[in-house]
Structure 1
Amino acid sequence: MLKMVRAASVVAISCTLASAVLTADAGFAFGNDQSTALSASAIVVDAAQITADKQNVERLKSGEVTTRLAENGDIIFIPGSGQPVNTDSRSEYVDDVREESVAASSLSELVRMQDVSEPLDSEVRCLAGAVYFESKGESLAGQLAVARVVIARAKSGRFPTTLCGVVYQKSQFSFVRGGGMPPIATGSAHWSNAVAISRIALNNSWKSPVEGALFFHARHVSPGWRLTRLGSIDNHIFYR
């Protein structure tokens, strides 16, 4: 399902990427069992991606282009009105299928807008479980990136076609033991965030800084993968 996204949100995302600090760390990882919140989010992307983001920010501000979000999470640029865009505006683009809109100025605000009290089907629970165990101590951007990897795998044709199939695939996620997940503190803020992030990821409501990633590992290991590195967020490095 295609969802239209606000220019202001895309500008904010691009500015976050453009202001990220570049590092030259080698790939490291597998699994993340940390449970304490990080003091700050560390998002690192490639220099070429940052240059493109800066250019797209200027195109958005000038009104040369506007954007929409494709089902795979890619931002699609389409001709704009030619009028400068007020990036502080709360104006929204309406979803052309469900006629719903996203009116959040930040990912944290969008998380707060989610109804996490609704019953979860098995697929959402599997996705939220992956977010919870892999990244509950990380920033919301890091949690979203993990969720989008699981979804991207299910759509790739290279992995199982269901979210639960991806999560429980043998030897893929270190928290899966004996074909199941450890107990989850479902009354915790960590779980509420994981559920909210899962809903956002499934609805393509916010773009991950490493959209398109199919693999990730923790910084403290170096698996030597011959994959395209997309960037790092908090404790994880992402590849496709």
Structure 2
Amino acid sequence: MKFISKRVGASALAAIFVVSSFGASGSNAVAQDKAPAQAEQTVLESDQTQTAPAFAVPAAQSEVRFVMNEVVQELPEKAEVPESTIETQSDAVSLRELVGDVDTSGELSREMMCLAKAVYFESRGESLDGQLAVARVIVNRAESQRFPDDYCSVVTQRSQFSFVRGGRIPDPKRGTRAWTKAKAIARIAHRDMWDSPAHDALFFHATHVRPRWAGRLTARATIENHVFYK
């Protein structure tokens, strides 16, 4: 999953040559594509300004003089560390211990935020295993050719998650234990740090309903109040 935006800047180079009885003039455009550093989540852009070399020829002189302007490039104050480069090793012997070990203090990328919000709104009342299973479904869908290829598009896909309203995901109650757990579960699922009975599931529904599509799929696991299918 890659999310790339491009910005194009151009600078004109002009030179005028006057030699005895004839003259000529011309200009060229130089374009440079720039892509911001990334994530999820995921994600941060910084403005960069680059001035290309400018060439000038004084009219009163017979030889060409080249004048190069200083190249100015602003650097981002802080670069976000991609999720894929973060250490994924853990000696945790239980999912609960692993959730406690995962660092949730940093900012989430946009994609990781969508995944964590889905865990929070869809399954915060479930066990950690149930929350991880929901997160796995979203990760699996983003990796499947049958669904959109990023977490936010998967979560906001029409008629898929009831907490989404008008294509928008609501904000969680930040600072709560439920939100901290949801962020940890999202990172665990994204990095595939813990096995889940619903490891390859693409669908799920609550146990108190029986949708017609469920009969055409293979059940993978029933965890708490959800049934998961491949």
Shorter-chain TM range is 0.5 to 0.7
Aligned-pair distance for 1:99? Answer: 7.3
Which residue is equivalent to 1:177? Answer: 165
Structure 2 CA distance for partners of 1:215 and 1:112, relative to 1, 3 Å: same
Q: How does 1:6-25 map to 2 (within 5 A)?
A: none
Which residue is equivalent to 1:222? Answer: 210
Report the TM-score when normalising by structure 1.
0.58
Which of 178, 188, 193 in structure 2 is aligned with 1:190?
178
Distance 1:133 1:189 in 2: 13
Report the TM-score when normalising by structure 2.
0.61
Q: Which one has a larger percent helix, Structure 1 or Structure 2?
A: 1
Which consecutive residues of structure 1, in runs of 5 or more, have no partner in the other structure? 1-96
Distance 1:196 1:100 in 2: 12
Q: How does 1:194-205 map to 2 (within 5 A)?
A: 194-205=182-193
Which residue is equivalent to 1:131? Answer: 119
- Provide the aligned length of Structure 1 versus Structure 2: 144
The structure 1 segments of at least 4 consecutive aligned residues displaced by more than 6 Å after TM superposition are none
User: Is this contact kept in 1: 2:88–2:191, CA < 8 A?
Assistant: no
Q: Tell me the secondary structure at the aligned position of residue 222 of structure 2.
A: strand
Distance 2:228 2:159 in 1: 18
Aligned residues: CA RMSD: 1.4
Which of 203, 212, 227 in structure 1 is aligned with 2:200?
212
Single out whichever of 174-183 and 190-199 deviates more from structure 2. 174-183
User: Is this contact kept in 1: 2:136–2:199, CA < 8 A?
Assistant: yes
Distance 1:99 1:164 in 2: 24
CA deviation profile, 1:191-225 (whole Å, cap 9, x unmatched): 00000000001111101112100000011111022
Which consecutive residues of structure 2, in runs of 5 or more, have no partner in the other structure? 1-84
Q: How does 1:77-156 map to 2 (within 5 A)?
A: 101-156=89-144
CA deviation profile, 1:13-45 (whole Å, cap 9, x unmatched): xxxxxxxxxxxxxxxxxxxxxxxxxxxxxxxxx
Q: Tell me the secondary structure at the aligned position of residue 123 of structure 1.
A: helix
Q: Percent identity?
A: 56
Which structure would you say has the larger Rg?
2
Q: Which one has a larger percent strand, Structure 1 or Structure 2?
A: 2
Aligned-pair distance for 1:181? Answer: 1.8
Aligned-pair distance for 1:135? Answer: 0.4
Aligned-pair distance for 1:178? Answer: 1.3
Distance 2:86 2:172 in 1: 33
Distance 1:126 1:216 in 2: 18
